[in-house]
Amino acid sequence: MAAACVLTALIALLPLQGAGGSALPESGSADTPRAEQARAEECKEPERSLPASGADGPTIKEIKTRKDKPNKLIVGVDQNSYRWGYRNPSTGKLEGFDIDLARAIAKDILGDPDDIIFRAVPTNQRVPAIQSGQVDMVVRTMTINCERLKDVAFSTAYFETGQQLLVPEDSKIKGYDETLAGKKLCTAAGSTALSELEKQAYGADISTTVPNQLDCLVRLQLGDVDAVVTDSALAAGQAAQDPTVSLAGKPFTKEYYGVAMSKKAPDLVRRVNRILEDYRKDDWDKSYKDWLADDLKDIDGPPAPKYQD
């Protein structure tokens, strides 16, 4: 356990090279189309996105020609989520399922998968990073939901997941139920997990929140908390890192990951949706087999896209 804890902490502290740079001004139409994303109060199917288009709109043209870092796609990612977005300690390179997708988007828009700048974004800074223009998009296991649609736009879904508990092997916690009473849980600030626990925690202490989800695993390894609540897709990767922890119960929500972008960039949203249509045909399955198949065995394929009328 101690060795796993040290390894996890070291990975969490590795610096992200090339993460500097000035903020990117938001671009696109000043008047975002009414159909861009459903208003949260009217939101029934948040995974419905704008129809796909391969056109180069104003946002994409600005990405190609801006004075600061021209012809580079600036993408907010994780560098600490094993299998999804993490820095390989042997090579120093960012790898994972989300990294593959980000590079595919850069290749389609700019012609080369290396025309990309990765910026490490904490869980609770994903939305602010988009709104401030520090990144063009976030590809970081980000759940599409109605609350977030108030602040950012999303692509169509590229992965289905759900909230689940990660516990020590000898834990008495059986899942998202009464066995949580009196237990101390850890979640990432601004996460879907925290939102769900605020609705129903079964008597658990949910006061422990951290900037990055991986910090919860470290606290679990140290014995500071009794369980971690996070996406099952992330939890499976963490269980693969540390054999002394395991998943408890079944996922208690159904959620979808999407690429998050500015609400002022509908052309970029449409373009990413078109890229995802092609990506689902072949590249998605290849990336899944490379990164996720060993830990997430019951995935039939990517979710079908849903578009706004």
Series of mean pLDDT values for 10-residue runs along the chain (309 residues):
38 35 38 48 88 97 93 96 94 97 99 98 96 98 96 98 96 98 96 95 98 92 97 90 92 96 98 99 97 88 96
| CATH superfamily, domain at 37-160+257-299 | Periplasmic binding protein-like II (3.40.190.10)
Long-range contacts of 279-282 (CB under 8 A, 24+ apart): 279/101, 279/104, 279/158, 280/158, 280/305
Homologous superfamily of 163-248: Periplasmic binding protein-like II (3.40.190.10)
pLDDT tens readout for residues 241-281 = 899 999 999 999 999 999 999 999 999 999 999 999 999 99
Strand partners, 26: none
Amino acid at 229: V
Q: Which residue spans of the chain are classified as CATH 3.40.190.10?
A: 37-160+257-299, 163-248
In the chain, the N- to C-terminal Cα span, in Å, equals: 51
Indicate yes or no: pTM above 0.75. Answer: yes
Q: What is the pLDDT of residue 279?
A: 99
Collect all residues with Cβ–Cβ distance below 8 Å to 278 and sequence separation of at least 6: 108
What tens digit of pLDDT does each residue of 13-27 get? Answer: 333 333 333 333 333
